[in-house]
């Protein structure tokens, strides 16, 4: 057990500071205060963050920290904490670590016994979900899907029986193919495409997956929110059998497909096995 009482002792802190996802005014007073007070700010792209620093008159030195130098820079951060300095991590936009670098840094800093504190603020996932008109809890944040079609489809399949709202980050170049794959795998569901949040062209598109062919080309940054599996779908034996058949058609052996379906639907393997064998006899 490790208990961190962040502000009760005078030890250095790594602050994870959320920054705007478009509108530079979406910066909390505390986020500005912390960024002004720390000794160094590690940023994904120092040129991008420079605009934010200038806008809020933050003069703290910026250091680079991105996915390709995370390991080396983590040691750098630990050296500074050891020297008694406070450090902040920011990403280009939104919350650090949310589909952005920082996870292994946080792990290392905690291992060394230093405090880690998050300064809350904008993140596209919550901003989109809040205004999506879809169920806000429970939800699963998946982030970016794999780019290769087969891997993408496999990931979508993992969630076909999930009853909770599903949230994805997606690029405008891939959204059409992704929606088609989702329609084929998940069936017709309500979705919301949240585009360019907090920016001048902010748009919410509420539609069903069956309408995917009518979606015009899109530009800008996108969050895709998908309604969870309907309740009866998760429970119906018919869907369970269809799920097995779909995995078999996709190349899995019968036993493997039965195992996968049992695991995903949290059922006994034998229940799925018997249902599928009975179905084969009909």
Give the distance from CA 210 to its chain's centroid: 24
Selected from 114, 159, 169, 183, the binder of ligand SAM by CB under 6 A is: 169
Give the integer Cα–Cα distance in Å for 117 and 13.
7
- Angle at the Cα of 271 from the Cα atoms of 266 and 274, rounded to 5 degrees: 150
Give the distance from CA 13 to its chain's centroid: 25
Q: How far is the CB of 44 from ligand SAM (least distance, A)?
A: 9
Give the integer Cα–Cα distance in Å for 1 and 263.
31
The answer to whether the beta carbons of residues 176 and 212 sit under 8 Å apart is yes
Q: Is 244 in the site for ligand SAM (CB under 6 A)?
A: no
Q: Where are the beta strands (DSSP E) in 30-110?
A: 40-43, 62-64, 87-90
- Angle at the Cα of 225 from the Cα atoms of 224 and 229, rounded to 5 degrees: 135
- Give the H/E segment covering residue 124: helix 124-130
The residue sitting closest to ligand SAM, measured at its beta carbon, is: 94
98 vs 264 by CB, closer to ligand SAM: 98
Q: How far is the CB of 253 from ligand SAM (least distance, A)?
A: 36
86 vs 123 by CB, closer to ligand SAM: 123
Beta bridge partners of 87: 14, 40
The answer to whether the beta carbons of residues 72 and 82 sit under 8 Å apart is no
Residue 123's CB: how many other CB atoms inside 10 A?
24
Q: How far is the CB of 56 from ligand SAM (least distance, A)?
A: 18
Q: How far is the CB of 207 from ligand SAM (least distance, A)?
A: 17
Q: Is 102 in the site for ligand SAM (CB under 6 A)?
A: no
Q: How far is the CB of 40 from ligand SAM (least distance, A)?
A: 20
56 vs 199 by CB, closer to ligand SAM: 199
Selected from 13, 14, 16, 22, the binder of ligand SAM by CB under 6 A is: 22
Q: Where are the beta strands (DSSP E) in 138-256?
A: 139-144, 165-170, 190-195, 203-208, 222-226
49 vs 123 by CB, closer to ligand SAM: 123
Give the integer Cα–Cα distance in Å for 241 and 280.
10
Give the integer Cα–Cα distance in Å for 282 and 147.
39
Q: Under rule CB under 6 A, which residues in 105-164 are in contact with ligand SAM?
A: 123-125
114 vs 168 by CB, closer to ligand SAM: 168
Binding-residue pattern over the window 204 to 233 for ligand SAM, x denoting contact by CB under 6 A? -----------------xxx----------
Q: How far is the CB of 58 from ligand SAM (least distance, A)?
A: 19
Determine the size of the site formed for ligand SAM (CB under 6 A).
23
Beta bridge partners of 143: 168
Q: Is 100 in the site for ligand SAM (CB under 6 A)?
A: yes
Binding-residue pattern over the window 2 to 21 for ligand SAM, x denoting contact by CB under 6 A? -------------------x
Q: Under rule CB under 6 A, which residues in 32-91 are in contact with ligand SAM?
A: 91
233: three-class secondary structure by DSSP: helix
Q: Which residues bind ligand SAM (CB under 6 A)?
A: 21-22, 91, 93-95, 98-100, 123-125, 169-170, 194-199, 221-223
């Amino acid at each position: 057990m490790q208990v961190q009482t962040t502000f009760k002792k005078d030890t250095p802190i790594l602050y994870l500071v959320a920054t705007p996802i478009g509108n530079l005014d979406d910066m909390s007073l505390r986020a500005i205060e912390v960024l002004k007070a720390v000794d160094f700010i590690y940023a994904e792209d120092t040129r991008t963050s420079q605009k934010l620093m200038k806008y809020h008159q933050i003069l703290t030195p910026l250091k680079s920290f991105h996915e390709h130098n995370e390991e080396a820079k983590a040691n750098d951060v630990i050296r500074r904490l050891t020297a008694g300095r406070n450090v902040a991590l920011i990403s280009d936009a939104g919350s650090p670590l949310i589909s952005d670098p920082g996870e292994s840094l946080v792990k290392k800093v905690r291992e060394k016994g230093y405090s880690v504190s998050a300064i809350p603020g904008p993140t596209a996932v919550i901003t989109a979900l809040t205004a999506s008109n879809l169920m806000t809890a429970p939800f699963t944040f998946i982030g970016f899907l794999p780019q290769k079609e087969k891997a993408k489809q496999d990931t979508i399949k993992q969630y076909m029986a999930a009853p909770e709202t599903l949230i994805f980050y997606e690029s405008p170049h891939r959204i059409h193919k992704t929606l088609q794959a989702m329609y084929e795998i998940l069936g017709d569901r309500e979705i919301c495409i949240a585009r360019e949040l907090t920016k001048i062209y902010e748009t919410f598109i509420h539609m069903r997956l069956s309408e995917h062919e009518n979606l015009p080309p899109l530009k800008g940054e996108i969050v895709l929110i998908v309604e969870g599996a309907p309740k009866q779908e998760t429970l119906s034996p018919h869907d369970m059998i269809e799920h097995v058949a779909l995995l078999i058609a996709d190349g899995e052996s019968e036993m493997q497909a039965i195992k996968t379906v049992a695991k995903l639907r949290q059922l006994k393997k034998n229940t799925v096995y018997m249902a599928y064998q009975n179905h084969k006899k009909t």
